[in-house]
């Protein structure tokens, strides 16, 4: 693999971001972001053409790279400490000090390990993450160009913050590519902490009180995850003297040895993936502009967590650590799906769904069979494209309608037809055959057949998700007349339509994705014979549905029968007891069952107990 392509994936986005910082012309900045998207796409395809590979890399494996990584272990926590002191946030202060203490201990007490021979490694899992970052991440950055212009006009900013915004966003993509390809766990850790920095800055971008509060929450939780990661790395070095990631995930290394280092690394992945009870940092990210939410929820930050768990999966078969991890992931899948059902805020629905699907991927990692790992990797790819599509659609509709509440988006198809139809298609792609999310869930449930608890949690979570997504799509497609149809900017509709075709195309190609990324696994092959028939049935149903919808849209809308007499007051009718009753329509959210105040506490306690068991079982 050419070093130039690795540089294109890792260094070019950072260099382009720095250039955005100094460019004063919005047009030049837009051109540079578009050029970066093209460069990442080319680099991603080049990596795919050469994968799998394991090669030396001056960029990721030289003494200079290692010195930078070791310096980052001090510089980044020191910056986090400074921000904690400035905000007087004691959790950030304590956990950043903990990171600094571990870095100091490692520098003094750990022998200096030799450089990793093959510092750049790309297998099926790495390739999956690189392609997600290069294509999905790039489309989100392009979507951000018109979105941030409109966002700043709405806030009436005198001085644009877009240069700094695009610096962080593009650098984020470069750090993610470095993390995916790095085979030295010390370099991996540096990229891991760099993503924490980027997420903190992006969530707090607007600098409002709520944005700052949520950014600090994300910071302290991810600093805690950084402590788990660094502690796991130090224990691995101490016990086995290893820093090569592909040597660390060799099952023979852990035969008869303590699994505590692995459990700590898995726990770091669960925090990064916003698994319960750490989901609040990801939910808080919704206060940021929509491109940030899409980036964190789909292609970057949270994917680091599931990437780590899937990377460690080879050492988990037949271990209590694997069983507990699978149970924790399946429980989060079920609980977060239930919480999504009780939300009317469209972005919260997407956020809880993200937490749920990440839990399902982590459950696949914990089961650690070839079929389960294959299902997890396919879900990682297809979830990224589909969820990015949904976040961008909700963001665009929010700017058009002026609200992100699902009830306010009722009938959005009449006002923003392209975006609403894309959102409805994306929602249905999460649950309908023959698309990849269903195929991945199917394979995960098949892998769980020997464990009744996992099987029950996955089945219940899937059933709740079906109700949630049908309601989501149906609400957007509900009939409502409007005076004027809105048309999106080409840099808004372009990424949305690209992600729509990507989500549907990847969903249809799920078995091929499986064969490309993991040639030895056959998790989805069993369902391939049904796909052509299911596709034809699904497309016919979609065409018929659209024809019916178009007829309804052309017809004159009649008022509902209200079981009473007309009233002079708009929105009311004279009903029982001669009183004026308010006429309203809306979905049922069953908050008494699925509301956050009650369910979050119970689910958080149970999920926290499972994660404690993950570490406690490894110690025992």
Distance CA 325, CA 331 (A): 10
pLDDT band at 301 (very low <50, low <70, confident <90, very high): confident
| 419 within some domain | yes
pLDDT band at 488 (very low <50, low <70, confident <90, very high): low
Helix (H, G, I), strand (E, B) or coil at 114: coil
Helix axes 490-508, 510-517, angle to 10 degrees: 80
Residues near 231 by beta carbon (within 8 Å), at least 6 away in sequence: 102, 264
Position with higher pLDDT, 283 vs 593:
283
Neighbour tally for 245: CB within 10 Å: 18
108-132: average pLDDT: 87
pLDDT of residue 311: 94
Residues near 455 by beta carbon (within 8 Å), at least 6 away in sequence: 445, 448, 449
Determine how β-strand 120-122 pairs with β-strand 565-566.
Answer: unpaired
| 402 within some domain | yes
Find the range with the poorest average confidence among 272-286, 385-399, 570-584: 570-584
pLDDT of residue 396: 86
| 350 within some domain | yes
pLDDT of residue 519: 65
Distance CA 92, CA 103 (A): 16
| 492 within some domain | yes
User: What average pLDDT does the chain have?
Assistant: 85
Position with higher pLDDT, 73 vs 432:
73
* CA proximity to 183, closest of 311, 51, 364: 311
What is the separation of C-alpha 46 from the centre of its chain, rounded to a whole number of angstroms? 24
Measured in degrees and rounded to the nearest 5, phi and psi for residue 184 equal -95, 120
Beta bridge partners of 53: 122
pLDDT of residue 232: 94
| 559 within some domain | no
Measured in degrees and rounded to the nearest 5, phi and psi for residue 67 equal -65, -40
Whole domain around residue 451: which residue ranges? 318-554
DSSP for 260-299, written as a single string: HHHHHHHHHHHHHTT-TTSTHHHHHGGGS-HHHHHIIIII
The count of structural domains within the chain is: 1
| 23 within some domain | no
Helix (H, G, I), strand (E, B) or coil at 122: strand
pLDDT of residue 514: 67
Q: What is the pLDDT of residues 529-550, one digit of tens each?
A: 555 566 566 666 666 766 665 5
Beta bridge partners of 122: 53
| 156 within some domain | no
What is the separation of C-alpha 137 from the centre of its chain, rounded to a whole number of angstroms? 11
pLDDT of residue 438: 80
| 389 within some domain | yes
Do 349 and 340 touch, CB atoms closer than 8 A?
Answer: yes
pLDDT reading at 523 higher than 60 = no
Best-predicted range by mean pLDDT (183-197, 296-310, 441-455, 601-615) = 183-197
Helix (H, G, I), strand (E, B) or coil at 120: strand
Find the range with the poorest average confidence among 5-9, 88-92, 95-99, 430-434: 430-434
Position with higher pLDDT, 587 vs 30:
30
437-453: average pLDDT: 86
* CA proximity to 74, closest of 100, 111, 110, 93: 100
Q: pTM score, two decimals?
A: 0.90
Beta bridge partners of 244: 184
Return the ∠ at Cα 171 (arms to 165 and 172), rounded to 5°: 90
Give me the count of residues in the chain.
Answer: 620
pLDDT of residue 156: 74
pLDDT band at 401 (very low <50, low <70, confident <90, very high): confident
């Amino acid at each position: 693999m050419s070093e130039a392509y690795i540089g294109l994936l890792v260094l070019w986005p950072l260099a382009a971001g720095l250039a955005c910082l100094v460019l004063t012309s919005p047009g030049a900045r837009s051109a540079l972001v578009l050029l970066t998207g093209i460069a990442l796409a080319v680099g991603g395809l080049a990596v795919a053409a050469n994968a799998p590979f394991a090669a030396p890399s001056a960029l990721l494996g030289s003494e200079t790279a290692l010195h930078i990584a070791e310096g980052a272990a001090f510089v980044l926590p020191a910056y986090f400490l400074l921000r904690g002191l400035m905000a007087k946030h004691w959790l950030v202060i304590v956990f950043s000090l903990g990171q600094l203490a571990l870095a100091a201990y490692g520098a003094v007490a750990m022998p200096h390990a030799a450089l990793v021979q093959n510092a750049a490694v790309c297998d099926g899992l790495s390739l999956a993450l690189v392609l997600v970052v290069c294509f999905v991440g790039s489309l989100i950055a392009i979507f951000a160009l018109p979105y941030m212009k409109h966002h700043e006009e709405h806030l009436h900013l005198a001085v644009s913050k877009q240069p700094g915004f695009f610096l962080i966003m593009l650098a984020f993509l470069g750090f993610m590519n470095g993390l995916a390809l790095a085979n030295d766990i010390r370099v991996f850790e540096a990229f891991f902490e760099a993503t924490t920095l980027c997420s903190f800055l992006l969530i707090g971008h607007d600098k409002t009180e709520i944005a700052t509060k949520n950014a600090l929450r994300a910071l302290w939780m991810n600093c805690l995850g950084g402590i788990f990661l660094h502690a796991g790395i130090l224990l691995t070095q101490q016990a086995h003297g290893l820093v090569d990631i592909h040597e660390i995930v060799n099952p023979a290394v852990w035969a008869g040895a303590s699994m505590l280092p692995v459990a700590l690394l898995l726990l770091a992945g669960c925090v990064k993936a916003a698994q319960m009870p750490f989901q609040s940092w990801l939910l808080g990210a919704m206060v940021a502009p929509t491109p940030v939410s899409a980036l964190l929820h789909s292609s970057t930050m949270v994917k680091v967590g599931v990437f780590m768990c899937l990377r460690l999966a080879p050492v988990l078969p037949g271990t209590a650590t694997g069983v507990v991890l699978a149970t924790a992931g399946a429980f989060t899948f079920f609980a977060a799906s239930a919480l999504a059902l009780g939300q009317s805020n469209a972005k919260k629905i997407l956020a809880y769904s993200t937490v749920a699907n990440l839990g399902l991927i982590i459950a696949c990692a914990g089961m650690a069979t070839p079929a389960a790992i294959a299902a997890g990797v396919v879900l990682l790819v297809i979830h990224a494209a589909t969820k990015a599509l949904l976040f961008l659609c909700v963001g665009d509709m929010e700017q058009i309608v002026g609200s992100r509440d699902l009830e306010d988006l009722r009938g959005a198809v009449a006002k923003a037809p392209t975006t609403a139809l894309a959102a409805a298609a994306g929602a249905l792609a999460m649950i309908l055959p023959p698309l990849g999310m269903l195929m991945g869930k199917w394979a995960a449930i098949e892998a769980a057949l020997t464990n009744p608890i996992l099987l029950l949690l996955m089945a219940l979570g899937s059933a709740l998700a079906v109700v949630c997504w049908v309601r989501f799509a149906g609400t957007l497609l509900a009939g409502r007349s409007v005076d004027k149809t809105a048309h999106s900017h080409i840099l808004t509709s372009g990424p949305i339509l690209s992600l729509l075709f990507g989500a549907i195309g990847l969903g249809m190609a799920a078995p091929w994705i499986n064969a490309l990324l993991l040639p030895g696994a056959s998790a989805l092959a069993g369902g391939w014979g049904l796909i052509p028939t299911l596709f034809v049935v699904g497309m016919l149903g979609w065409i018929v549905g659209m024809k019916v919808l178009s007829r309804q849209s052309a017809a004159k809308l009649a008022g509902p029968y209200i079981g009473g007499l007309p009233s002079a007051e708009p929105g009311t009718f004279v009903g029982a007891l001669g009183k004026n009753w308010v006429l309203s329509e809306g979905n049922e959210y069953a908050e008494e069952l699925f509301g956050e105040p009650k369910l979050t506490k119970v689910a958080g306690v149970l999920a926290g107990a499972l994660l404690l068991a993950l570490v406690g079982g490894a110690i025992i």
